[in-house]
Structure 1
């Protein structure tokens, strides 16, 4: 299940409202730490819900278009088009 862009793995017995509440709280906690949440696993142990969270990898792919190194999110429309039109030569 995906909630607010976060992959959630959960056991039966946890309501959707509880899941949404937990995910929102985890997003806030991780954001305060300057980190980005990638996934949450929720497990029921007795009367408690155990939360295991995973950080999104901070690794970004750097590309070279017309001699300049940058991440894809910083490319202008012409460089994005050049990247899209590339052919893989294997």
Structure 2
């Protein structure tokens, strides 16, 4: 069953928010902020190119977030400072 256009627009809007808002997303996608606003308002159709580009941007963003999380998470003892390790019984 094809995607409902309103559902797709809602998901697109959520993607823009996840990527840091309109200005940042427009920069990431290499389009004018006004063009992005027209798409968000439903005044301009979401074509397969913009959907592909935002999907790639979301993957890149998620990959960067995962890498940072793995360096910050206290679940990995190597991420703790000596003081933190002592406090949490790891040192």
TM exceeding 0.5: no
Output the TM-score relative to the length of structure 2: 0.28
Output the TM-score relative to the length of structure 1: 0.28
Q: Which structure shows the bigger proportion of residues in strand conformation?
A: 1
